[in-house]
A and B are shown apart, each in its own frame.
Chain A
Amino acid sequence: MIQMKNVVKKYPNGVVAANGITIDIKQGEFVYVVGPSGAGKSTFIKLMYREEKPTSGDVIIAGTNLSTLKNRQVPYLRRQLGVVFQDFKLLPRMNVFENVAYALEVIEENPQVIRKRVMDVLDLVGLKHKVRMFPNELSGGEQQRVSIARSIVNMPKVVIADEPTGNLDPDTSWEIMNIFEEINARGTTIVMATHNREIVNTIRRRVIAIEGGLIVRDVNGGEYGYES
């Protein structure tokens, strides 16, 4: 599903955030990406949704090689992925329904289908009763649930999450993890960068540790492995 081959990413300021990363993530896997701050986790994630282009090497997502992907094709790649961020990235002037529906409007889906699919995913994340509310009227956990709903409404094969619980309290974090687990149980591949030791050590899944732009550990059912 996700493959990286000898991926190197050098930023113009000289920082090497990926120094030859090779990885293979299969369809349906749940993968944690861990490591200290500044180790290259975010770059690793950004390479997958083509926010960053590799300096060299190949990134292949669902059969598409991102190294040769043209800028104007990027939107079509992103429609096959769901992306969730630490700061939610909701559209402030759109209500809950419109935020989730946006991901379907960009693919010019039929309005009846949009309505049904949006209500279904909002039901899944437990926010069906707040469809008309705006992001600033919601708690952090609720906003993150909206953003997860948006990421899966397209039925992507992969959901990529960059510290999705980073801004949330422990209880809310667990709620979010339950949703991810449920999505994963339906066959969606999940790649999640996290600093949350509790979660990684409790919900045991494949753990990839990145330090200095290199994969230093890749264990199924592994531990977080860092002091938090």
Chain B
Amino acid sequence: MAMKARTLQRHFRESLKSLTRNGWMTFASISAVTVTLLLVGVFTIIMMNLNKVADDIENDVEIKVLIDIMEDSEQAKAAEKQLIKQIKALPAVEEVVYSSKEQELDLLIKDYGEDLSLFEQSNPLNNVLYVKAKDPQQTVKVAKQIEKLEHTQEAVYGKEKVEKLFNFLNISRNVGIVLILGLLFTAIFLISNTIRITIFARKDEIEIMKLVGATNSFVRIPFVLEGMWLGILGSIIPITVISVLYSNIYKLIQPSMNGELLQLLDTTPLLYQVNALLLAIGVFIGIWGSFMSVRKFLKV
């Protein structure tokens, strides 16, 4: 049977009234939501930033191939062409970018100042190929393959550093995912348990409502809405704390990191995403917790 809009209104009113009349129980449930969401939020932000750092580092890893310096420019051009062709033919290679020694010098001048423009007269640098592997983790393998090719003077990459870094990043990512999942399950368990206790205290009320002729949904809806409010109210503090804290940390740290490889995630959209996630978790757990608890007592 379709519910009248008036009745839905009544359910909303009733759920709000019940929040205020339940006093301590409401407070307990909201606190449970608040504490767990705060933990989930902080962890999510840390994990997302770690992930960003990992991605940045990974994507930054490239192989710098120094090409043999040859006197004869015709010969050199042919050799470079052949080398590019050979590198591109390697299955694990994503892209190859050519950079002449003049471009290389410009880069150095940009980074270290005009003093270096002296070298424009007699450029000591090599022509260079920048090679990226399809999967950053294959960098080491690719570099070794390139070093064996003719006309390669050297294939430079972070070597041991890169290898260790990748190991570390893999482990920290997995640990982070496990931690967040564990935290989420704890949150769901803790919050729905608190709500269950709240509703259990009202088992008799549910029985009375049914004796007076309330249908299951008439009994259930105000409880479920109440759970929703608990979720919303419980997410207010975590959302505020996390937003304020992260914005300030960002403001404090970010300026000193300008130009560095390591960067924090921008506050937008990160905070919107995390806050939406916290609100969603709160509302979902509130609704789900009430729904499951009421269901137990609704048997006729």
Q: Which of B7, B212, B218 has the most CB of A within 10 A?
A: B212
Question: Once the chains bind, are B22 and A111 in contact (CB under 8 Å)?
Answer: no
For A90, the closest partner residue in chain B by CB is B208
Contact A74 B300 (CB under 8 A): yes
Using Cβ atoms and an 8 Å threshold, which residues of chain A touch B22? Answer: 93
A72 adjacent to B208 (CB under 8 Å): no
Q: A93-B22, A93-B205, A108-B4 are in contact. Are A75 and B213 (CB under 8 A)?
A: yes
Chain B residues lying within 8 Å of A107, measured Cβ to Cβ, are 213
- Scan residues 59-103 of chain B and give those whose CB is less than 8 A from a CB of chain A: none
Per the bound structure, the CA–CA distance linking A27 and B21 in Å amounts to 41
Chain A residues numbered 22-51 whose CB sits less than 8 Å from any CB in chain B: 49-51
Which of A75, A92, A103, A150 is most buried by chain B, counting CB atoms within 10 A of its CB? A75
The 8 A CB mask of B171-202 against A (1 = contact, 0 = none) is 00000000000000000000000000000000
- Interface size on B, as a range, is 20 to 34
Question: For chain A, which range describes its interface: under 10, 10 to 19, 20 to 34, or 35 or more residues?
Answer: 20 to 34
B21 touches A106 (CB 8 A): no
B204 cross-chain contacts in A, Cβ below 8 A: 89
Is the CB of A91 closer than 8 A to any CB of chain B? yes
B205 A91 Cβ-Cβ under 8 A: yes
**Secondary structure class of chain B's binding surface, majority of residues:** helix
The answer to whether B300 touches A92 (Cβ under 8 A) is no
**Known A74-B300, A92-B205: A103·B4 in contact at CB below 8 Å:** no
B215 touches A106 (CB 8 A): yes
Q: Judging by beta carbons under 8 Å apart, are A106 and B214 in contact?
A: yes
Contact call A75/B21, Cβ cutoff below 8 A: no
Residues in B neighbouring A89, C-beta threshold 8 A: 204, 207-208, 211
Given A91-B208, A105-B10, A75 contacting B215 (CB threshold 8 A):
yes
Is A83 positioned at the interface, with any CB of B under 8 Å from its CB?
yes
Q: A202 interface residue, CB < 8 Å from B? A: no
Q: Which listed residue, A49, A93, A111, touches B211 by the CB 8 Å rule? A: A49
A105–B4 Cα distance when bound, in Å, is 11
B18-A93 in contact (CB<8A) = yes
Is A102 a contact of B7 with CB atoms below 8 Å? no
Q: Given the known A-B contacts A105-B10, A108-B7, A111-B6, are A93 and B21 also in contact in the complex, defined by CB atoms under 8 Å?
A: yes
Is the pair B214, A75 in contact by a Cβ cutoff of 8 Å? yes
Residues of the B chain whose Cβ atoms lie less than 8 Å from the Cβ of A103: 212-213
B-chain residues with CB within 8 Å of residue A108 when the two chains form the complex: 3-4, 6-7
Chain A residues whose C-beta falls within 8 Å of the C-beta of B218 in the assembled complex: 75, 105-106
* Interface residues in A95-129 (C-beta closer than 8 Å to B): 102-103, 105-108, 110-111
B216 within 8 A of A: yes
Does B210 sit within 8 A of A, measured CB to CB? yes
Residues of A within 8 A of B6 (CB): 108, 110-111
Q: A71-B300, A93-B22, A105-B10 are in contact. Are A79 and B213 (CB under 8 A)?
A: yes
- 16 A-B interface contacts by CB (under 8 A): A74-B210, A74-B300, A75-B213, A75-B218, A78-B212, A89-B207, A89-B208, A89-B211, A90-B208, A91-B205, A103-B212, A105-B10, A105-B218, A106-B209, A108-B6, A154-B213
Q: A83-B211, A108-B4 are in contact. List 8 more A-B contacts (CB 8 A).
A: A49-B211, A75-B216, A77-B213, A89-B204, A91-B209, A92-B205, A103-B213, A106-B215
